[in-house]
């Protein structure tokens, strides 16, 4: 097998806690194997522009606990549909994948580690198909990748959402209001579901279980009849009604995500005030969920993922993504990792648990 002397690493897509912990683990494991590491800046953009930093021991000292990414990131820079000036534009996207591959070669790289979510791993698969040796690391607060039990970043976001729900209880109880907290998660309801259960939310709205406005109001009225003068609704940004309608904040053609979600809780708030005649307030958590230091769980998972990613490179497994499977870190083919999203099972154990403790999903279909 070819001796590995030099690798590249990039972090792409939305930032989240744990990215630096992965960069640190990959680099530390590489340096102890006498492998040089180039850190490409701002995701795949750095590979297109050939902008990188040399990662030595000093560069990764003290970054385990830091949020964000020392390399920078981008969820716009797609080498296959490049829209950033001066090389491309949103009106005229260019295929600059050959430029990225050229830069991979002139830097004498033996492999590339790509750290990202669905969009990043899909681009990684395209490069793998063109013969670039890549090991992927699954990141996203959405936890929506099917080929791993959990993505890093999710646990940190979950704890922030749960703490927010705890804090919102205070105002809800004191003012006898309905408080609606909106989590991120795109088309997957994991963040809302798990923080809703952990925070004791009364109503949880997720994309996988379409809501009915009357059922939401009925749940609030039921609580009132039992003497509960407040309610907490935990609402995923991707929550949709029975017609499948979602609230779209913006269409973003140039991003790896075609639409920007956010704001459905404002709509739910207006429904609660009009139909249930109850005062409502809305709290959209937004990027607070992605900020700050990783939890201990995410530091550990990121470190395990990063160390394993380098092991896979040494083993010549260059089309793979590291994956948590039960207690172990294993590997899966990148092509299998991007084939489908992992969504909440409306009939699964977690939804059933929430139902058993009296939580409503704003639907009569789920019992």
Active-site positions read: 142
Min separation Cβ 322 and ligand F6P, Å = 19
Find the helix or strand (DSSP H, E) in which 264 lies. Answer: helix 264-275
Touching ligand F6P, residues 87-126 (CB under 6 A) = 117
Pairing of strands 248-251, 259-261: antiparallel
- The torsion defined by the Cα of 352, 146, 308 and 297, in degrees rounded to 10, comes to -30
List the structure tokens of 291.
Answer: 């900020």
**Binding flag, residue 142, ligand F6P (CB under 6 A):** yes
**Binding flag, residue 84, ligand F6P (CB under 6 A):** no
Buried b (16+ CB within 10 A) or exposed e, 110-133: bbbbbbbbbbbbbbbbbbbeeebb
Only one of the segments 139-147, 163-171, 276-284, 337-345 lies at the binding site for ligand F6P (rule: CB under 6 A); that segment is 139-147
Min separation Cβ 76 and ligand F6P, Å = 9
Sort residue 247 into left (φ over 0), alpha (ψ -120 to 50) or beta.
Answer: beta
- Of the residues 21, 184, 220, 232, which one makes contact with ligand F6P according to CB under 6 A: 184
**Binding flag, residue 186, ligand F6P (CB under 6 A):** yes
Min separation Cβ 118 and ligand F6P, Å = 8
Instruction: Determine the Cα–Cα distance for residues 87 and 230; give it in Å rounded to an integer.
Output: 54
Instruction: Determine the Cα–Cα distance for residues 207 and 187; give it in Å rounded to an integer.
Output: 6
Number of residues that bind ligand F6P (CB under 6 A): 13
List the structure tokens of 107.
Answer: 């830097």
Only one of the segments 47-55, 60-68, 167-175, 182-190 lies at the binding site for ligand F6P (rule: CB under 6 A); that segment is 182-190
Only one of the segments 56-64, 136-144, 302-310, 328-336 lies at the binding site for ligand F6P (rule: CB under 6 A); that segment is 136-144
- Of the residues 185, 196, 269, 306, which one makes contact with ligand F6P according to CB under 6 A: 185
DSSP state of 289: G
**Binding flag, residue 240, ligand F6P (CB under 6 A):** no
Q: 48-53 long-range contacts, Cβ below 8 Å, gap at least 24?
A: 48/77, 48/79, 48/82, 48/87, 48/96, 48/99, 48/100, 48/103, 50/103, 50/106, 50/107, 52/8, 52/107
- Of the residues 66, 260, 281, 318, which one makes contact with ligand F6P according to CB under 6 A: 260
**Binding flag, residue 14, ligand F6P (CB under 6 A):** yes
Are the C-beta atoms of 363 and 215 separated by less than 8 Å? yes
Min separation Cβ 14 and ligand F6P, Å = 4
> 4 or 282, CB closer to ligand F6P?
282
**Binding flag, residue 206, ligand F6P (CB under 6 A):** no
> 140 or 360, CB closer to ligand F6P?
140
Binding site for ligand F6P (CB under 6 A): 14, 75, 117, 140-142, 184-186, 237, 260-261, 290
């Amino acid at each position: 097998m070819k001796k590995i002397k030099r690798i590249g690493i990039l972090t792409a897509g939305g930032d989240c806690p744990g990215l630096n912990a992965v960069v640190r683990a990959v680099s530390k494991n590489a340096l102890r194997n006498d492998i040089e590491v180039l850190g490409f800046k701002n995701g795949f953009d750095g590979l297109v522009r050939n902008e990188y930093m040399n990662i030595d021991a000093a560069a990764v000292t003290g970054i385990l606990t830091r949020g964000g990414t020392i390399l920078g990131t981008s969820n716009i820079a797609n080498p296959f549909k490049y829209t950033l000036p001066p090389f491309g534009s949103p009106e005229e996207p260019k295929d600059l994948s050959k430029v990225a591959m050229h830069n991979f070669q002139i830097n004498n790289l033996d492999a590339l580690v790509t750290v990202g979510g669905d969009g990043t791993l899909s681009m990684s698969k395209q490069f793998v198909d063109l013969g670039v040796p890549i090991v992927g690391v699954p990141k996203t607060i959405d936890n929506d990748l099917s080929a791993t039990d959990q993505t890093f970043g999710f646990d940190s976001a979950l704890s922030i959402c749960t703490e927010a729900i705890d804090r919102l209880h205070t105002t809800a109880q004191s003012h006898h209001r309905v408080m609606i907290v909106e989590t991120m998660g795109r088309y997957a309801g994991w963040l809302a579901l798990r923080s809703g259960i952990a925070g004791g939310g009364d109503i949880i709205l997720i994309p996988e279980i379409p809501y009915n406005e009357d059922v939401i109001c009925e749940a609030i009225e039921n609580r009132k009849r039992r003497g509960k003068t407040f309610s907490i609704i935990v609402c995923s940004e991707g929550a949709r009604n029975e017609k499948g309608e979602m609230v779209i904040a913006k269409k973003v053609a140039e991003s790896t995500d075609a639409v920007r979600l956010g704001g459905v809780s404002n709509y739910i708030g207006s429904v609660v005030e009009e139909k249930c005649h109850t005062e409502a307030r809305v709290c959209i958590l937004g990027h607070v969920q992605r900020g700050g230091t990783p939890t201990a769980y995410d530091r550990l998972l990121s470190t395990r993922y990063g160390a394993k990613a380098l092991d896979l490179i040494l083993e010549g497994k260059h089309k793979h993504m590291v994956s948590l499977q039960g207690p172990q870190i294993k590997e899966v083919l990148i092509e299998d990792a991007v084939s489908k999203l992992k969504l909440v099972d409306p009939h699964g154990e977690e939804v059933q648990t929430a139902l058993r403790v009296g939580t409503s999903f704003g639907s009569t279909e789920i019992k």
